[in-house]
Chain A
Amino acid sequence: MRRVLAFLLGAAVLVDAPGAARASGPLFGAFVEAAGGIDLAGGKGIFLAQRSRTQVRLGATLRLDGLPRDALFVAALVEVEPRPSLGFDVQWAHHVLPVLSVQAGVTGVAAPETLFGVTGGARLRIPLGSRFRITAGPQVSGYFLGGDLPDGSVIVQTLLLLGTHVDF
């Protein structure tokens, strides 16, 4: 945990260097988030709960001039433990407050087995400087398709995410 915080603060110092001019037109950004939580699985009279696989999301954001309160998030999703896998996450975010956004989209795992679903959540965005933010928030995903899913079951995943976001 200390390493994560040190990384976040270090990144804030490096990225938020003075003198960097904001680009006009589309605004690009990048983010990295770590997540953990709980998975609830149900189907055919079975209801189970277990700890979610720890996730790391590494992605990019795109904001358009005409939509200053909206952003597109595209991320690679890596489940790192207890079993590794690689997936994706595409979400549309809308800032309801300067420090709070809600977002929704699709998510999935592509390897070693497939798993697809929809996702939605919120992010508290704590600014550190003009371009750097610490982000934290909940995210709920529902997985209902894919070869990794036992027959007739669905998984509802509730995660808590903590990360960093920078606007270029």
Chain B
Amino acid sequence: MSTSERSARRAVGMLLGMVLVAALSSAEGCADETQCIRHTDCAGGACVAGRCVRPVADAAVDGGADAAVDSATGAVDAAGDADAATSDAADGVDAQADAPRSADASEADASAADASVD
């Protein structure tokens, strides 16, 4: 066997080995789509420590939206509290108005109505 034939055989063997390694790595590498080694491996994101992460801007938007929802919920709750207070106050006014008209009304009831208005 000549030197060139030996070299050719070695080259072919090396190529076959590389094909095997590439096939095995391909089967494992595609399993986790969030794995990355380049920023452009991540659709619209960045590659940090081998994992795709969203850009800071997106995270900020999401965080802002959450905060806005929380604030809105709080505002609704506060409005509900205000309505309840208004309702309580109205009840108090009604009770106060009814007290003088009722012959059986006691001073204790009127005091309770005043307390509700306050």
Contacts and interface: CB of A to CB of B under 8 A. Distances in A.
- Our verdict on whether A and B bind, yes or no, reads yes
Interface of A: 36-39, 41, 44, 46, 48-52, 83, 85, 97-100, 112-113, 115, 122, 124, 136-138, 147-150, 153, 155, 158, 160
Nearest to A37: B22
A97 B22 contact: no
Contacts of B4: 97-100
B25 A50 contact: yes
Nearest to A84: B40
Contacts of A99: 4, 8
A80 to B, nearest CB: 14
A48 B41 CA distance: 13
Contact of A113 (B3, B28, B36, B40): B40
Interface in B1-40: 3-4, 7-8, 11-12, 14-15, 18-19, 21-22, 25-26, 28-30, 35-40
Contacts of B25: 38, 49-51
Interface residues of B, number: 29
Given A49-B25, A113-B39, A41 B50 contact: yes
Secondary structure at the B interface, as helix, strand, loop or mixed, is: helix
A160 B22 contact: yes
B47 interface: yes
22 contacts: A37-B18, A37-B22, A38-B21, A38-B25, A50-B30, A51-B30, A52-B22, A97-B4, A99-B4, A100-B4, A100-B7, A113-B38, A137-B11, A138-B15, A148-B40, A149-B38, A150-B39, A150-B47, A150-B49, A153-B37, A160-B15, A160-B22
